A and B are shown apart, each in its own frame.
Chain A
Amino acid sequence: MSGNKKTAGFEPKIVGFLCNWCSYAGADKAGTAQTPYPPNVHVVKVMCSGRVDPQFVMEAYENGADGVIILACHPGDCHYKEGNYRAVQRNRILKQLLSQFGIEEERCRLDYVSAGEGEKFVRVITEMVESVKRLGPLSVNKKRAAV
Chain B
Amino acid sequence: MKIGVYFCNCGTNIADKIDPEKVKAAITALPDVAYFKTADFICSEDGKTFLEEDLKETRPDRVVIAACSPRDHENTFMRVLAKAGMNPYLMQMVNIREQVAWVTADNERAAQKAITAIRGAIARVRLHQPLEKKELEACPDALIIGAGPAGLKAALTLAEAGRKVVLVEKTPVIGGMPVRFEELFPNMECGPCMLESILGEVLHGDYAENIELLTLAEVVDVAGFYGNFIVKIRQNPRYVDTHQCIGCGECIAGCPASAKNEFNCGLNERKAIDFPFMGALPNAPSIDTATCVRWKGEECKVCKESCPMGEDVVNFEDREQILERNVGAVLLATGSSLYDCTAIPGLGYGKLPDVYTSLEFERILSSSGPTNGEVATANGTAPRSIAIIHCVGSLDPDHRHYCSGVCCQYAFKFNHLIESKLPQTKVYHFYKELVIPGKEGFSLYHHATENHNAELYRYEKIGSLKISAGTKGSKTIKNSSFGKETVTADMVILCPAMVPAAGSEQLGAMLEVSRDRFGFFEELHGRLDASQSKIKGVYLAGTCQAPMDIQKAMLQGMATAGYVLSGLAEGKKLEIEPITAAIDEERCAGCRICLSVCPYKAIGFDAEKKKSEVNAVLCHGCGTCVSGCPAGAITGNHFTNEEILAEIGGMLA
Contacts and interface: CB of A to CB of B under 8 A. Distances in A.
Interface of A: 13, 15, 24-25, 27-28, 30-32, 34-37, 39, 42-48, 50-56, 59-60, 63-65, 79-83, 86, 90, 122
Nearest to B117: A42
Given A48-B624, A65-B648, 15 more contacts: A27-B98, A27-B99, A28-B69, A28-B99, A35-B103, A39-B113, A42-B117, A46-B639, A47-B622, A47-B636, A54-B627, A56-B648, A59-B648, A63-B648, A83-B599
29 contacts: A13-B652, A24-B71, A27-B98, A30-B103, A31-B98, A31-B99, A35-B103, A36-B103, A39-B110, A42-B652, A44-B644, A44-B647, A46-B623, A46-B644, A47-B622, A47-B623, A48-B623, A48-B624, A50-B627, A53-B627, A53-B644, A56-B645, A59-B649, A60-B648, A63-B648, A83-B599, A83-B623, A86-B624, A90-B627
A8 to B, nearest CB: 17
Contacts of B476: none
Interface string B101-138: 01111100110110011001000000000000000000
Contact of B641 (A30, A35, A55, A60): A55
A16 B557 CA distance: 43
B579 interface: yes
Interface residues of B, number: 44
Contacts of A30: 98, 103
The dominant DSSP class at the B interface is helix
Interface of B: 69-71, 95, 97-100, 102-106, 109-110, 112-113, 116-117, 120, 534, 579, 597, 599-600, 620-624, 626-628, 636, 639, 641, 644-645, 647-649, 651-653
The dominant DSSP class at the A interface is mixed
Nearest to A115: B71
Contacts of B649: 59, 63
Q: Which of A25, A47, A59 has the most CB of B within 10 A?
A: A47
Nearest to A56: B644
B626 A63 contact: no
A141 to B, nearest CB: 10
Contact of B623 (A50, A59, A60): A50
Pairs A-B, 7 closest by C-beta atoms: A31-B98, A51-B623, A50-B624, A80-B622, A81-B599, A53-B627, A63-B652
A30 B100 CA distance: 11
Contact of B105 (A13, A36, A46): A36
B597 A51 contact: no
